[in-house]
Structure 1
Amino acid sequence: MLLEQGGVSPLLRPANIDEDALIASLGGTAPADVVAALARAKADAIAPGHPDDVVIGCDSMLLLDGELLGKPHTVEATIERWRAQRGRTAHLLTGHAATYRGEWVQHTVRTAIQFGDVSDTDIEAYARSGQPLECAGAFTLEALGSWFIDSIDGDPTSVIGLSMPFLRRALYQFGLDASAFWD
């Protein structure tokens, strides 16, 4: 969505990596490095098949009370997460890895999320909508989630999933211009 709104028609390829196994292998690694490793693994899985393309991998996790939280996957886990994070500030860490012709640029973007003090009824309705089940931190800024985020401090595009400022800087490091990718 972000790329399309930015004038780019991306080619999307799922990386199909075992995220849980990779996270387990990184025990004791700093949270920002965990999400960067996930992003790199995703890009690395796709890059060999696209040697002349810019390949980008991203992954996000919510850092709350020192614990990295990924996708809740179930309604029950979503409700539990929202009860723990409502009315609080947490940090969404979005790891980015971009590669082009063997060069790599990696960065983790940290954005503070102020969650609203949401009622139990709204938490349950949001969880049952299915929208937050496959989202890091069990929320989105767009769609129904927009009701429940009071503010963010940082890059809003990284919260949606891809930091456009990161991508612009990565393209420049590769000697490319963002406008060259516009349709």
Structure 2
Amino acid sequence: MTRLLLASTSPARLATLRSAGIEPVVHPPGVDEDAFLAEAQTRFGPLTPVDVALTLARAKSEAVSATASGDILVLGCDSVLEFDKQHFGKPASPDEAIQRWQLMRNKTGVLHTGHWLVDVRPTVAGGTGGAIGSSASTRVHFADLSDAEIRAYVATGEPLRVAGAFTIDGLGGPFVSSLEGDHHNVIGLSLPLLRNLLADLGVAITDLWR
């Protein structure tokens, strides 16, 4: 039976797939993201936030699919927050997370998640050898946090582990006022977009239910 291989160690992405009835194989991508982006910028010039998310999602998926075999589809994802004409991944330190939140509070950003799907299934199992990618974007309205709330949140360590320094499915939930778009995308993986990518490769998302 066809399985989805998730090229990510994100607990949130794994939980999102499981909540949708999909039990993926999980494989760390082992990609040097900074080096890969630097190479991409050298080849193609400045990257937009959407470009960054999709480029890294492709790098992760292709790194894992290069050694994957069997009745498998490999999914790589990457998220970045576009805010004030910049893009943010995971903060490098608590001080950086605090500074970000002081900028973001009571304002709006856009969370972009790139998705890249590679079909490594054998031909006899319906494999196409194809690869397809796209991104989903969700507007995020941040609450007006006090400095004390920001320091307390950063002290938990959660903002250091996620793109944009916030979550909606964890301790950061109270600090996001509202969303415009797919909330799954903010968690790290857009289920509606995944369904469309699978369909483009001839696979129904219901075929992955366990």
Q: Aligned pair 1:13/2:31, yes or no?
A: no
Matching residue within 40, 64, 80 for 1:26: 40
Alpha-carbon distance between aligned partners in 1 of 2:84 and 2:156, rounded to the nearest angstrom: 26
Alpha-carbon distance between aligned partners in 2 of 1:168 and 1:79, rounded to the nearest angstrom: 36
Q: Aligned pair 1:88/2:102, yes or no?
A: no
| Unaligned segments of structure 2, at least 5 residues | 1-14, 121-128
3-state secondary structure, aligned to 1:143 = coil
Alpha-carbon distance between aligned partners in 2 of 1:25 and 1:104, rounded to the nearest angstrom: 21
Alpha-carbon distance between aligned partners in 2 of 1:111 and 1:138, rounded to the nearest angstrom: 15
Paired residues in the alignment total 183
3-state secondary structure, aligned to 2:113 = strand
Q: Note the aligned Cα RMSD (angstroms).
A: 1.1
| Unaligned segments of structure 1, at least 5 residues | none
User: Per-residue CA shift, 1:68-102, capped at 9, x if unaligned?
Assistant: 11100321111111001000001111111011132
Alpha-carbon distance between aligned partners in 1 of 2:52 and 2:170, rounded to the nearest angstrom: 28
3-state secondary structure, aligned to 2:22 = coil
Cα deviation, residue 123, structure 1:
0.4
3-state secondary structure, aligned to 1:147 = helix
Partner of 2:191: 164
| 1:92 partner letter | L
Q: Aligned pair 1:119/2:146, yes or no?
A: yes
TM-score normalised according to structure 1 size = 0.96
Matching residue within 66, 86, 89 for 1:70: 89
**5 Å matches for 1:96-115?**
96-101=115-120, 102-115=129-142
Percent of aligned pairs with the same amino acid: 39
Q: Aligned pair 1:38/2:56, yes or no?
A: yes
TM-score normalised according to structure 2 size = 0.84
Alpha-carbon distance between aligned partners in 2 of 1:157 and 1:179, rounded to the nearest angstrom: 18
Alpha-carbon distance between aligned partners in 2 of 1:91 and 1:22, rounded to the nearest angstrom: 23
3-state secondary structure, aligned to 1:72 = coil
Asked if 1 retains the 8 angstrom alpha-carbon contact of 2:49 and 2:81, the reply is no
